[in-house]
Amino acid sequence: MTLRIKPANFADRFYPGSRKALEKALASFEEDAAEGRKRVPGEIVGIVVPHAGYVYSGSTAAQSFHAARNTDPETVVALGLSHRTRIEGVSILDAEGCETPLGSIPCDREFQELLSKKILFAGFDIEAHLSEHSVETQLPFVKRTFPEARVVEILTQDDESPLPETVGKAIFEVARKLDRRILVVASTDLSHYPTMEVAERVDHEALEWILSLNLHKAQHEIRRLEQKGLPGVHCAVCSKAAVFSGMATAIHLGADGASLLGYTNSGRGPHGDPHRVVGYGAVAWTKG
């Protein structure tokens, strides 16, 4: 079943639900990102962005989108984790558009269709998309930063080879066939739920591997980090599947460098508990 418009089910939960309040929040995040912006050498082809409630990770997410603001993508390919619904392979959103409090974003229907044919294990699990926040939290940033762009939403849970490599190659080949300028957005949070002290060690090690653009090494080392048995560490990168698929896509797009744009964790904020935190990082993958 094709949706006409996917509703904004997490508005007023993960981010402000009114246009005025959301615009105010995004403007504040952008102002902070502009003040603390870092020089990013090369052309950004992909970004890594957190997906928690904006009170925790909105400012970090803004650092990725602010850095990519001049990339002018025709299509944003957003990769997220299916937190609540079990899916096999990947699920591609089958919809005409996605609603946000800032207005709807059209889906790239041609890209969706070709991608579903390229990836033999792709499905269209509407319920997975309707119940998922990892991509929805990116959409207000997409709408504000790239108002003319379309979107393709992909959910996955499988971080084992060859899925990330297959997804990355397929996205690249479809973009090339359609002659689309794309930006890849990989949605993930970092460690869950150690103390702030442990989180900051684990998160920075995980980020080093995300920055490495060495897919197989990153897969091995991040899993090794998660298996160390560090107190409270449920995971080091919650959406490994999205990050590894995004990294594979960025490599096909020519990425040969990466920049850490920002880092924080929930324990640093006014609403967080320093004894049980979640980490958030912003990364840009670049070429040239």
Q: Are 15 and 54 in contact (CB under 8 A)?
A: yes
Pick the CATH number of 3-188+237-287 from 3.40.830.10, 3.30.1330.60, 1.10.357.10, 3.40.50.300: 3.40.830.10
For residue range 234-243, what is the model confidence (pLDDT) as tens digits? 999 999 999 9
CA distance 26 to 253: 29
Residue showing tokens 């091995």: 220
Confidence at residue 1, expressed as pLDDT on a 0 to 100 scale: 64
Query: What's the confidence (pLDDT) of residue 269?
Result: 87
Task: Rounding to the nearest 10 degrees, give the CA dihedral for residues 7, 12, 17, 21.
Answer: -160
User: pTM (2 decimals)?
Assistant: 0.97
Q: Tokens for 19? A: 């246009």
Upper half-sphere CA count for residue 69 (Cβ side, 13 Å): 12
By the 8 A CB rule, do 83 and 67 touch? no
Residue 47 to residue 54: CA distance in whole angstroms: 17
Render pLDDT for 89-134 as a digit per residue (tens, 0 to 9): 999 999 999 999 999 999 999 999 999 999 988 999 999 999 999 9
H or E stretch at 170: helix 163-178
Residues of the chain with pLDDT under 70: 1
End-to-end CA distance of the chain: 42
